[in-house]
Amino acid sequence: MKFVVTGALGHIGSRLVRYLPEHFPGCEVTMVDNLTTQRVASLFDLPRTGRYRFIEADVTKMDLGPLLRGATAVVQLAAITDAAGSFDRAREVETNNFQATKRIAEACAEAGVALIAPSSTSVYGTQKDVVDEDCGPEDLKPQSPYAETKLKEEELLDTLWRTGLKVVRLRLGTIFGTSPGMRFHTAVNKFCWQAVFGVPLTVWRTAFDQRRPYLDLTDAVRAVGFFLEGQHYDGRIYNVVTANATVREVVDRIRAEVPTLDVRFVDERIMNQLSYEVRADRIQALGFRFTGDLRRGIADTVALLHHANADTPVAAR
C-alpha cells in the first residue's frame, strides 16, 4: 500500500505519518510539504518500520501525476489552518487551501485514487444546542475565512464524488494533543502554552460557559486509519469529535496541571461567539470508537513544556 500525505509535517500530519506504518505494516508513506513553516524537525526519528519518501513541493503547483502513480489513497492536509488569523489573510487562505484541495481532488479522480479530505466543525454557525451532519444550510454559517473555504471545499468534493471520485469528508473538531509538528494557535494547546509560561489566559466574559467540539489528535489519526482500512469512500460527511466542552471545563483541566493559572476576563468580542455541541454518531455507527481524553491531552502537553519555565510550578504526575 502507498499512502500520500500532503502537509505531512504539520500538527496532524507529523503524527499521522508515524501512525500509518504501525497500523499498515509494510506500507509506503510519501510525505509532501512546502516547508513554509520550517517544521523540518517533524522528519526526525521516523519509525524504522516505515518506508518513507519526503518531497518538498507546493501541491498547488507541482505535477501531481507522478506523485499519485501507484497510490492507494491521499490524505489532504496541505492548508493554512489558523482560523483566527485567516481574517487578515482571507485571499491567501482561499487561494492556497481551496486550490490545493481542488487540484488534488481532480488529480485523484483522474488517477482513480481515493481521497480523505479533512474539513472542520468550524463550518457550523448554528444557534441550536446540538448539531450533526444532517443539519440544514441555515446551520452552516462559517465564522472565519478559513471555515468559509472549508465549506467551499466540501461542496466541490461532493460534486466530484457524484462523478466518480472516491472520497470521504471529515469534519474535525478543534485539535488538541501533542505531535512533532504541533502548533499552539488553537484553543487548548494555546491555553496550555500560556499557562506554563505564566501568561494570563484572556477569556471573553460571556464565553466562559460556551460549549465547543474538540478532537484528541490520537482520535484524529485513528479516524483517518479507520477510513483507510475500511475504504469507506462514500462521499459523506463525518463529524470527528472526541468531546464537547466549555471553556470553563478546559480551564479547570489546565488548572489541575498548572495550579498558578491566571484567567482574566475581558469584554472584547471573540471570533466565534456561538455555543453548540457537535454530535459524532455517524462515524460511531460505522464502528469507530473514540478513545481520546481531554484531561490526558492537556496533561501530556503540559508535561512536554514543564521544564521550559522554572518559574511556573506544575502538578506532579
Tell me, yes or no, whether 232 and 248 share the same domain: no
Q: Specify the CATH number for the domain of residue 263.
A: 3.90.25.10
Tell me, yes or no, whether 122 and 269 share the same domain: no
What is the reported pLDDT for 85?
47
Tell me, yes or no, whether 8 and 138 share the same domain: yes
pTM of the model: 0.92
The listed range with the strongest mean pLDDT (37-41, 76-80, 172-176, 313-317) is 172-176
What rounded mean pLDDT belongs to the chain?
90
Tell me, yes or no, whether 48 and 154 share the same domain: yes
Tell me, yes or no, whether 155 and 250 share the same domain: no
Is residue 129 scored above 70 in pLDDT? Answer: yes
Tell me, yes or no, whether 160 and 301 share the same domain: no
Tell me, yes or no, whether 205 and 91 share the same domain: no
Is residue 82 scored above 70 in pLDDT? Answer: no
Q: Specify the CATH number for the domain of residue 50.
A: 3.40.50.720
Tell me, yes or no, whether 193 and 119 share the same domain: no
Is residue 83 scored above 90 in pLDDT? Answer: no
Residue 97 lies in a domain: yes
List pLDDT tens digits, range 155-196. Answer: 999 999 999 999 999 999 999 999 999 989 888 999 999 999
Tell me, yes or no, whether 104 and 75 share the same domain: yes
Residue 298 lies in a domain: yes
Is residue 222 scored above 60 in pLDDT? Answer: yes
Q: Where in the sequence is the domain holding 198, given as residue range(s)?
A: 187-212+243-276+293-308
* CA angle 178–237–179, rounded 5-degree value: 10
